[in-house]
Chains A and B, each alone.
Chain A
Amino acid sequence: MSHNGCRGETELLLKYAAGGLEAADREAVERHIEGCGPCREIVAGQRAVWAALDGWEAPPVSEDFDRRLGARIARETSWRDRIPRLFSPALIRRGLPVAAAAGLAVAAILVMNRPKPVSPAQPVAVQQVEPLRPDQVETTLQDMEMVREFSGLVQPDPDSKM
């Protein structure tokens, strides 16, 4: 491990600090860090980090963890089980005649209580439209011709563009 390679060897240094190297690699790292201050510092620092992390205890898991999980699973399972059961063939066989009878009863009630047809509304008075006079038609046609000519001036023929 050369000084130029120190940066690239951080992984090796981390493994060494964790005691996870084979003898040959371990000896090579030890030889290197004897003469390399920065790498020695990394190893010492990393050992301190791992020692600190080792001391970070987590609290024990609650005793009722499994019971609570079991209850959640049971709750979920019971709901999931109930839904397919609604469509089970046995339930459909037994429930179909009852459902059909109930449907017929509802339909009968609806028919019997059907509201009376509403009497047609009063006929709407037809407004008289005054017929167009021939001179009005002629004026309109002239106006349309003017508009067409005006449009031609505003939007010149595309062929005339450069």
Chain B
Amino acid sequence: MGGATAALDYDAELMLRVKGGDSGSFALLLNKHRASVVYFLYRMVHSQAVAEELAQEVFLRVYRSRGVYEATAKFTTWLFRIATHLALNWLRDGKNERWQESLDQRDPGMPARQAADGRPSAEQCMVRESAFEEVRRAVAALPANQRAAVLMHKYEEMEYSQIAKVLHCSESAVKSLLFRAYETLRARLAHMA
């Protein structure tokens, strides 16, 4: 965790206020990062219920750690490190049953994907569902650490260096993870262009 970046990190400042007993700052942090943490976890575990449960645990751990928090790195690095750790543990512990189950089930929490002009036609729905399913399965087929790296790179727009800190590995290892992951995804999804 590098101290230089932390000086400019507003989130870290908020977290220091939480450490000082300001619960309002915790609410601000939660409001700011709730969605990104839940979405990241959802794309990792493919279940809305599990993603929210894990996200609750992430923020609970953040709150518990407020007393010992040191602003030595970007707050999001720490936040996603906790989230990734929980997701990888969940996948490892219950992979065989829950993983496949969550892939096969239709998530009731999914929003209806509508065409821009209003109600989607049945055909549009089927095409979108099929495409969505293909993406979901392609990402699910990636090894867990490649999946985490892709999700942080694509959706959180993290730099290689930050992903490396989250995953506790070198930048070159992250590049290697991403190149292999994107290579696999290109092979599976390039026809969707």
A interface residue numbers (CB < 8 A to B): 10-11, 14, 42, 44-53, 55-62, 65-66, 68-69, 72-73, 76
Contact = CB atoms under 8 A, between A and B. Distances in A.
How big is chain B's contact interface, by range?
35 or more
Contacts of B136: 56
Q: Could you say which of A10, A52, A68 has the most chain B C-beta atoms within 10 Å of its C-beta?
A: A52
B35 interface: yes
Contacts of A48: 186, 189-193
A121 to B, nearest CB: 59
Contacts of A55: 128, 131-132, 135
A73 B63 contact: yes
13 contacts: A11-B175, A14-B178, A45-B193, A46-B186, A49-B189, A51-B193, A52-B131, A52-B192, A53-B154, A59-B109, A59-B110, A69-B56, A72-B56
B113 to A, nearest CB: 7
A58 B42 contact: yes
Given A52-B135, A68-B56, 15 more contacts: A14-B179, A48-B193, A49-B185, A49-B186, A49-B189, A49-B190, A51-B192, A52-B185, A56-B135, A56-B139, A57-B113, A58-B39, A59-B48, A72-B56, A72-B60
